[in-house]
Chain A
Amino acid sequence: DADVTQTPRNRITKTGKRIMLECSQTKGHDRMYWYRQDPGLGLRLIYYSFDVKDINKGEISDGYSVSRQAQAKFSLSLESAIPNQTALYFCATSDAWGNQPQHFGDGTRLSIL
């Protein structure tokens, strides 16, 4: 089983719909992250969480919200999806000090029509 699992892997939906992307991890890491990847722009950080009670905005948090339900679960929501949120979304985890590499899930390909 994968250490970092994202669901769904693919999603096509319409403008204005609410969408939730889920991430769960078995690595026991405290820190979890949500990124989006767009062609030509690289990965950009949306939100990150140091632990269940600590949520922080990344560089592109507008239009997104997150929930850290447990140490192992971190979900990303698009309250009212718009086409320019079409992207590949990744969840990642790291240890408490960030001295070890971040571990990534396989991504969710999201298309907003």
Chain B
Amino acid sequence: KQEVTQIPAALSVPEGENLVLNCSFTDSAIYNLQWFRQDPGKGLTSLLLIQSSQREQTSGRLNASLDKSSGRSTLYIAASQPGDSATYLCAVRLSNFGNEKLTFGTGTRLTIIP
């Protein structure tokens, strides 16, 4: 059974700092991995999706890396801003064809201190 862990559960950093969020998974046979952002009272917004054949994806100040062999992904946020405050979730999809199940981590609640 795939398990996804995100540590720490909460993180506070001063504005302007670079930071890294961590995601680990137990089954390396994944199809892809996604990072989401969740704001209070809102749904999930996809930030980055990394296919199993890729090592990283970048979007603006965000960079996500994937190391399947070690079962790890990181989300790097550069020059953090108060608007980055949210809960960040990672989710993995298994490789089985037709297996639509995304297994989610419980998230890291990020607070950027102005």
Contact = CB atoms under 8 A, between A and B. Distances in A.
Interface in A40-81: 40-45, 48, 50, 56, 58-59
Interface in A57-113: 58-59, 90, 92, 94, 98-107
A21 interface: no
Contacts of A103: 46
Contacts of A59: 101
B113 interface: no
Given A104-B45, A106-B43, A42 B104 contact: yes
Interface string A1-15: 000100000000000
Contacts of A41: 106
B31 A98 contact: yes
Give the contact-size bracket for chain A.
Answer: 20 to 34
Judged by DSSP, the binding face of B is strand
B51 A99 contact: yes
Interface residues of B, number: 23
Given A99-B51, A100-B49, A107 B102 contact: no
Nearest to B101: A45
Interface in B80-112: 89, 91, 93, 100-102, 104-107
Interface of A: 4, 31, 33, 40-45, 48, 50, 56, 58-59, 90, 92, 94, 98-107
Interface of B: 4, 31-32, 34, 36, 41-46, 49, 51, 89, 91, 93, 100-102, 104-107
